[in-house]
A = this chain, B = another copy of it.
Amino acid sequence: MIDTPHLVDQYCHGVLRTELGLGTFEARLGAHLGGAEALPAAGTTFFDTQTGFAVRRWCPPFLGLEPHCPPARYLARRRELGAAEAGRRLLRASGISTYLVDTGLPGDLTRPAELAAAGAAEAHEIVRLEALAERVADASDTVEAFLADLAEAVHGAAADAVAFGSASGVRGGLAALPEPPGPGEVRGAAGRWLAGRAAGGPLTDPVLLRHLLWIAVTAGRPLQLHTEDPAALDGFAAATAGLGADLVVLHRYPYHRAAAHLTGLHPHVYADLGPVLAHTGARAAAVLAEVLERAPFGKLLFSSGAQGLPELHVVAAHAFRSALTRVLGEWVMDGAWSRTDAQRVAEMIAADNARRVYRLAGSR
């Protein structure tokens, strides 16, 4: 009844090129729960999670198996087909027609063009600010050169990239001090960081992270902010209103209601809703309904948040569509929403809002 033929996945990563066994596949499921180093407890497995059950529900049929077949059987079939062919089948079964790909994670992950080809879709890059700053630092000799090159690199990236992303800026001090740091403060922090840094060393200095976010805001591209508790963003959102860059909140469960609420308070703040749906499996409809309580419907953006496994694109897309149909369908049945409004809001969240925010082309 609710029809969303083309999805824009507004935040994901590439998929792994390597073949995966039971243990390595399970570790990727766990990464979606507790980060890359998460381990299951002795006597337990990450397959026994909503994400694990959702993968076993939705994915086996696309590889010619029964839903809910055992993990070992699924992975044997996956290796039989090969990671590339399995990935192609899964991605094409997702109904995602545009991927926005954050290229800031390490690992043997497909680049945007490769993901697009495998999925018979479009792909655009989201540039991770920390990684960009680290590359600039590797190539800069002096503090002055670093700071000049950094600003230039951000504005240069804005020409090609569809958005910027920052995973550590909010954690790194933005929550406490939403204003841009002063030039002297920035120079001091840059000097200390560069002096103490080996090539490739990660950017964790809170002053530089804030500086970087403020450069990005002036570059006019949407800025995706990873945050635990969206309330920490309120000050930065207030300070950046009217500057021309939209902020897209990538939040952590269980803060989806707070993220949705925040989008109603500031015209330029949007909320991602993919991963909270993908990772709650059988509860996706319930979680979607919560997100729809307070967010203006023009402020919500579908994504998969997938990292490494094409299965997660499939799960996100199917969980989202199934949840939309159930939630909006019920509201139409109750007379709470009109059918026309329901279909229109579904298309907004599935693709139209993302097309407007990221200025993507047209009708596909």
Contact = CB atoms under 8 A, between A and B. Distances in A.
Contacts of A264: 30, 33-34, 38, 49
A77 interface: no
Interface stretch (A14-22, A208-216, A250-258): A250-258
A330 to B, nearest CB: 8
Contacts of A298: 40-41, 43-45, 48
A253 B294 contact: yes
Contacts of A297: 44, 48-49
Interface residues of A, number: 62
A334 B322 CA distance: 11
Interface in A247-275: 253-254, 257-258, 261, 264-268, 270
A110 interface: no
Interface stretch (A112-120, A131-139, A153-161, A337-345): A337-345
B336 A53 contact: yes
Contact of A345 (B48, B280, B296): B48
Contact of A335 (B57, B280, B340, B345): B57
A140 interface: no
A336 B315 CA distance: 11
A42 B286 CA distance: 29
29 contacts: A30-B264, A33-B265, A33-B294, A34-B266, A40-B267, A40-B296, A41-B268, A41-B270, A43-B298, A44-B296, A48-B296, A48-B348, A49-B295, A49-B296, A49-B297, A50-B293, A57-B335, A57-B336, A67-B335, A68-B338, A68-B341, A253-B293, A254-B293, A280-B294, A282-B292, A282-B336, A282-B337, A283-B293, A286-B290
